[in-house]
Amino acid sequence: MLLACAGLAAAPAAKKKAAPLPQGAAAKAPSAPLATASPSPTPSAPATPSSAPSDVKPPLEQLLKPKSINKVVEDYDIITNSQWNDDDFAFVNAVLVRTPLDYARPQMMDFTLYPKMSSAIKKFDYDPATKTIEMIGETHGLRMHSWVKVDQQYWDVIRYTIVRGDMTGFKVDAYLWDKSGRTLAVAKGELPHAKQMLPTLVALVFKPVSEIVLGVATKNFRGYIEEEYKKQKAR
């Protein structure tokens, strides 16, 4: 469900790609990342998976209106709503995946799949030692480079926080439910003081573009999970 955050790498939320240095010029050393990430292990589930308590996982009705719940669960729609609350940016993204939760969740946490879902995602490397993803998104001359901390203490709640780089402070909480053998996933994200971080022109288009990008990325990933599940069942 991190596509709800990673998909934004395809939106015009990042800074312009820096021009190359003149030949012979010394490059300024970037600040050290939290860890040296390598494109390998995806995060394993907690040793003893447990459901989140009520103070961690809100009721579904607090995240979606009844009409939206019906659209997602009954009509198989993807809901993506974003908004500005003064300077803060927030979004809710919801999808129903027609596979059991115990199949869908490991797929959602397989970070090696994410670059395949969007051509804008250039790097998505998870370091199991620090539980941190180094993520690079690039599109239309814009570039995003961030480090994302992953917290999956609970089976049905996964939390992501950008702790370094572009859009630092962006938090996404993904909540999972079993719906009669299908998986309902709802992601809630918030970037405090986003308007202060983003160029004025970018802020103007961020809401509509983010909704389009998140919707497309979520649809692609859902389709992938469902197709892989069908293949497994057919074996």
CATH number at residue 84: 3.30.530.20
5 vs 113: which has the higher pLDDT: 113
Residue 45 in domain: no
Residue 139 in domain: yes
H or E stretch at 145:
strand 142-151
| 32: amino acid identity, one letter | A
Tokens encoding 12: 């015009």
Instruction: Look up the domain containing 101 and give its range.
Output: 3-12+57-234
Reported pTM: 0.82
Mean residue pLDDT of the chain comes to 83
Q: Which of 98, 134, 74, 75 is nearest to 228 (CA)?
A: 98
Residue 46 in domain: no
State pLDDT tens for residues 122-162.
899 999 999 999 999 887 677 889 999 999 999 999 999 99
Q: How many domains does the chain have?
A: 1
Tokens encoding 33: 């990342």
The CB density around residue 104, as the number of other CB atoms within 10 Å, is 23
Q: How far apart are CA 25 and CA 99, in angstroms?
A: 54
Residue 8 in domain: yes
The segment with the largest mean pLDDT, out of 22-31, 199-208, 219-228, is: 219-228
138 vs 14: which has the higher pLDDT: 138
Q: Which of 217, 234, 197 is nearest to 89 (CA)?
A: 197
